[in-house]
Structure 1
């Protein structure tokens, strides 16, 4: 399944598609408009260390685990700070920036409300740490998620498949019947490694359609009927689905 969708109403074939067992959603840049705030936190901390971040580095660090992003920025700038010292600074500065409510991405509230109203098992899967997730959940609404997976709660976070495999298992669902919604290449790689069909809604850097991956311009074009069509019949995924 390779497609890019301009709009979604009620797609043909929704009734005949295999069952959707869960929806696994990334947080930053997918549901909440925070990718720019992460970059602002990183830029501010490194400015205090005497370094100016190159805008080109933003696409490299977006969507990745904190340790990878922080390590990359230290190595790129040559800043005199250790990884263990930098990570708490970044988390604290970001927490200050999201004090109060966090802006949601267009269409996020409507989609979460629809999934909840129809009883679709839903999980929040983020590379952000637990303290960040719990604060942002106040804006998203914790009632919309059966479970949440934080980046500091798994041994290997995105781009490894572990977070999405853990989320699917927590929902009691087959990963091949769970649609993942992501905004970055790192997150898409994690979801695809877990065997999940992917809906990419790019935020900072473009993502191309590919087999098993659909690209949408925003969540405004996405609804439950469309998500159900992304669960490919067994002959399309090349593996048996019981």
Structure 2
């Protein structure tokens, strides 16, 4: 998979103000946030360090560089960020094997977006090698575009990944609905100017102007997403 498409995708043909749907991956579409923590615990255990459970909410859901850097600093482990990144990616890939569990409602939502040909992007802080593995479960044909954390100069919580996705799809950020599960991802989407649906998986995310919080993807469908965007946005 690549992070670009040959030409902008046309906005939805039904006249809706919604131009694109941009979705996070880990914890939003696939139930893998716990897998990342398991990988971190295992790798640091082999390095002779025990991770404090209270660190889980700090490292899960953030970009690899931030999470790995925090753990190195907190444990004093004798390993470089680059070395640790390789080990964590390898351990995570081994953990997910060939299939990963989808979050409740993810299969139905992705099928509906594809059926209506809504321009859809997967926007993740995970690295390309991990995204391509997870796409075997999600179905790569369901996305017009995928953006990986190691393909942008600044990943979440910076707006860069969402701005890139919107621009490549030929959509205006205020006309994009973003579905995220962590405060880091929500911050990135809101900084890009997108409308956000938060489905919290780690920690609380309060409702706010331009942000809707739901309990599950079971509460989200195309009509729900279209209702978030008005012609005046």
TM-score, structure 2 length as denominator? 0.92
Question: What SS does the corresponding residue of 1:198 show, helix, strand or coil?
Answer: strand
- The answer for the alignment partner of 1:90 in structure 2 is 88
- The answer for the alignment partner of 2:73 in structure 1 is 75
Matched positions, count? 219
Measure the CA separation in 1 of the matches of 2:125 and 2:143: 16
**Equivalent position to 2:54, from 45, 53, 56:** 56
What do residues 156-211 of structure 1 show as CA deviations (whole Å, max 9, x unaligned)? 00000000000001110001000000000000000000000000000121111011
Measure the CA separation in 2 of the matches of 1:154 and 1:179: 20
Structure 1 segments, 4+ long, off by >3 Å, are: none
Shift of 1:63: 1.6
Shift of 1:143: 1.0
- The answer for the alignment partner of 1:29 in structure 2 is 27
- The answer for the alignment partner of 2:161 in structure 1 is 163
- The answer for the alignment partner of 2:17 in structure 1 is 19
- The answer for the alignment partner of 2:112 in structure 1 is 114
Cα RMSD for the two superposed structures: 1.1
TM-score, structure 1 length as denominator? 0.89
Structure 1: any 5+ residue segments left out of the alignment?
Answer: 1-16, 235-240
Between stretches 59-68 and 142-151, larger displacement belongs to 59-68
What do residues 32-57 of structure 1 show as CA deviations (whole Å, max 9, x unaligned)? 00000000000000111111111111
Structure 2: any 5+ residue segments left out of the alignment?
Answer: 1-14
Question: What SS does the corresponding residue of 1:191 show, helix, strand or coil?
Answer: helix
- The answer for the alignment partner of 1:100 in structure 2 is 98
Ranked by relative contact order (alpha carbons within 8 Å, sequence separation 6 or more), the top structure is 1
Measure the CA separation in 2 of the matches of 1:117 and 1:208: 32
Instruction: Please list, as runs of the form range in 1=range in 2, the aligned pairs for 1:174-193 lying within 5 A after superposition.
Output: 174-193=172-191
